[in-house]
Amino acid sequence: MNEIGMRALGAGIAVLVGLGAGIGIGNATGKAVEGISRNPETNGKITTALIIGAGFAEATAIYGLLVSILLIFVGVK
């Protein structure tokens, strides 16, 4: 396999980070909704923690996308 093929393979694997982020955000959202439905008074605290956690999860997805873009468009000499 040549260099272009290896970079494409690495980029594809790096994009899989988005799959993990999506699963994580889905699980967190489900648990947040469950927690709010059990105790509606804690709506503000749960929502704040959910937004912060979702931000961290999306940051990892963006890092994976950035790595894949760098692998595709920036050649190693």
Alpha-carbon distance of 4 to 17, in angstroms, equals 21
Task: Give the chain's domains with CATH numbers.
Answer: 3-74 (1.20.20.10)
Give the pLDDT score at 27. 93
pTM: 0.72
- CA–CA distances in Å: residue 24 to residues 57, 61, 65, 69, 71: 7, 11, 17, 23, 25
Give the pLDDT score at 77. 59
The pLDDT tens digits of the residues spanning 6-58 come to 888 888 888 888 888 889 899 999 999 999 999 999 999 999 999 998 999 89
